[in-house]
């Protein structure tokens, strides 16, 4: 069944897919390798259809518990971290083995929320993931549970999935769970509860609808998924919350079948990201341009190169936001800069091909890439 109601899904070309522990494990007995093989079959089919894929996968702690013969989830953080370290080996090996059946390369990426809140590490992670996607590699991402210092929570990978969606500028976040989607009220308590097919991600009624979960592998539930959808919408991505036990769920979503709950972002991805750059980051410095650079930025839609910068003010690190001014001092734009203050001063007014000779390396050819710049 296809419908124009699911056009946001059918038109999406870059998907972040989050698969929860309940779908990947045998009730705490380790990885369900048959289930993972089926997921990879579906992911490979998406890949062949032209979808760019990033996978956020839970399951490392559950697999570690099985390998260490633990009958219950440890309470101590260091024991949880140890289980995650052991289990991550099995998890990534299982994915690697199955993706190889389709001649698809995979990459293991372990992130913490600090990695994505620090602007320099954010840009590093973003660049790496974009390069992997360009190479046709399927990144397999998990939280780096072996080094986190806060309590490891089930459902946290929902948030990680949303942050990765923002990071790679994906069109769609698919959260696969063991529930059919979001209901208008708790179906365990109300027999007349109905599945919400589609709703705006910014709807004020979402949190009232969302309930908790009592899974044995952790804590969390629909509320974390709703909040993740709202976070993904900040960069213009839509979100689907669907039952991963539904046969062929990814293929059927791709075809436009109405399954699960579609949470629609209210803004186009580019507009959402530009607004985020313009209004939600504090400027750490300023760049003054010559008229040629102003023309390239404002009239030709180009990135900002060091050769067009005449003056640098402030103190900033790579990845922080700077104001960009014309020769008269009027603010033209905000952007995320690819070099720190000292590096920028050294390459000021120099052509891009000279950067390596001056600094000994090239971080980026552009001082501020167009994707990370918004005209005001």
Residue 326's pLDDT is 95
Residue 270's pLDDT is 60
Whether residue 343 is predicted with pLDDT greater than 90 in this model: the reply is: yes
Q: For residue 363, name the pLDDT band (cuts at 50, 70, 90).
A: confident
Whether residue 34 is predicted with pLDDT greater than 80 in this model: the reply is: yes
* More confident site: 16 or 177: 16
Residue 157's pLDDT is 84
Contact status, residue 140 vs residue 92, Cβ threshold 8 Å: yes
pLDDT per residue as tens digits for the range 137-162: 999 998 876 665 554 443 468 888 98
* Cα dihedral across residues 39, 40, 41, 46: positive or negative: positive
Residue 78's pLDDT is 87
pLDDT per residue as tens digits for the range 188-242: 778 888 899 889 888 878 877 876 444 433 334 788 899 889 888 888 899 999 9
As a three-state string, the secondary structure of 170-213 is: CCEEEEEECCCCCECCCCCCCCCCCECCEEECCCCCHHHHCCEE
Task: Please count the other Cβ atoms lying within 10 Å of the Cβ belonging to residue 323.
Answer: 18
Tell me the pLDDT of the chain averaged across its residues: 86
- As a whole number, mean pLDDT of residues 107-136 equals 83
Whether residue 3 is predicted with pLDDT greater than 60 in this model: the reply is: no
Whether residue 86 is predicted with pLDDT greater than 50 in this model: the reply is: yes
Nearest residue to 279 via CA among 309, 311, 234: 234
- As a whole number, mean pLDDT of residues 310-317 equals 95
Residue 112's pLDDT is 77
**Which DSSP state fits 302?**
P
Q: For residue 323, name the pLDDT band (cuts at 50, 70, 90).
A: very high
CA distances to 216, 248, 249, 251, 360 from 45, rounded to whole Å, are 32, 10, 12, 8, 43
Quote the CA–CA distance of 309 and 332 in Å, as a whole number. Answer: 13
Contact status, residue 155 vs residue 221, Cβ threshold 8 Å: yes
* More confident site: 72 or 339: 339
Q: For residue 365, name the pLDDT band (cuts at 50, 70, 90).
A: very high
- As a whole number, mean pLDDT of residues 314-343 equals 93
Q: For residue 19, name the pLDDT band (cuts at 50, 70, 90).
A: very high
Q: For residue 187, name the pLDDT band (cuts at 50, 70, 90).
A: confident
Residue 215's pLDDT is 44
Whether residue 80 is predicted with pLDDT greater than 90 in this model: the reply is: no
What are the boundaries of each domain within the chain? 4-269, 281-375
Contact status, residue 139 vs residue 208, Cβ threshold 8 Å: no
Which CATH fold topology does 281-375 show?
A: 2.30.130
- As a whole number, mean pLDDT of residues 308-326 equals 93
Q: Which is it for strands 52-57 and 172-177: parallel, antiparallel or unpaired?
A: unpaired
* More confident site: 242 or 121: 242
The token duo for 187 is 């179906």
* More confident site: 105 or 11: 105
Residue 26's pLDDT is 78
Report the CATH number of the 4-269 domain. 3.40.1160.10
Whether residue 364 is predicted with pLDDT greater than 70 in this model: the reply is: yes
């Amino acid at each position: 069944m296809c419908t124009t109601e699911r056009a946001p899904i059918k038109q999406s070309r870059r998907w972040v897919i989050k698969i929860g522990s309940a779908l990947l494990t045998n009730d705490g007995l380790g990885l369900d390798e048959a289930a993972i093989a089926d997921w990879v079959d579906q992911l490979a089919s998406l890949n062949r259809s032209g979808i760019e894929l990033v996978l956020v996968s839970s399951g490392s702690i559950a697999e570690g518990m099985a390998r260490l013969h633990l009958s219950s989830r440890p309470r101590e953080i260091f024991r949880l971290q140890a289980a995650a370290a052991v289990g991550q080996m099995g998890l990534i090996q299982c994915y690697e083995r199955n993706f190889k059946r389709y001649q698809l390369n995979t990459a293991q990426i372990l992130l913490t929320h600090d990695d994505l809140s620090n602007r320099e590490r954010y840009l590093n992670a973003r660049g790496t993931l974009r390069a992997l996607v360009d190479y046709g590699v399927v990144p397999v991402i998990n939280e780096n549970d072996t080094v986190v210092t806060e309590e490891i929570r089930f459902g946290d990978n929902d948030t990680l999935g949303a942050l990765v969606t923002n990071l790679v500028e994906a069109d769609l976040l698919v959260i696969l769970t063991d529930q059919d989607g979001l209901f208008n009220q708790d179906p365990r308590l109300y027999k007349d509860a109905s599945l919400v097919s589609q709703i705006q991600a910014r709807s004020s009624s979402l949190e009232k609808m969302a309930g908790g979960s009592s899974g044995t592998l952790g804590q969390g539930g629909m509320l974390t998924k709703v909040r993740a959808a709202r976070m993904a919408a900040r960069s213009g991505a839509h979100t689907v919350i669907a039952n991963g036990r539904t046969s062929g769920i990814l293929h059927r979503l791709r075809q436009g079948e109405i399954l699960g709950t579609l949470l629609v972002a209210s803004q186009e991805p580019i507009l959402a990201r530009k607004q985020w750059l313009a209004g939600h980051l504090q400027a750490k410095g300023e760049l003054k341009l010559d008229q040629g650079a102003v023309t390239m930025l404002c009239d030709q839609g180009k990135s900002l190169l060091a050769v067009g910068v005449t003056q640098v003010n402030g103190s900033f690190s790579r990845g922080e936001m700077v104001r960009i001014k014309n020769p008269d001092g009027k603010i033209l734009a905000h952007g995320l800069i690819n070099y720190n203050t000292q590096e920028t001063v050294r390459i000021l007014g120099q052509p891009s091909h000279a950067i390596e000779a001056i600094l000994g390396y090239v971080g980026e050819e552009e001082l501020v890439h167009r994707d990370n710049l918004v005209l005001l």
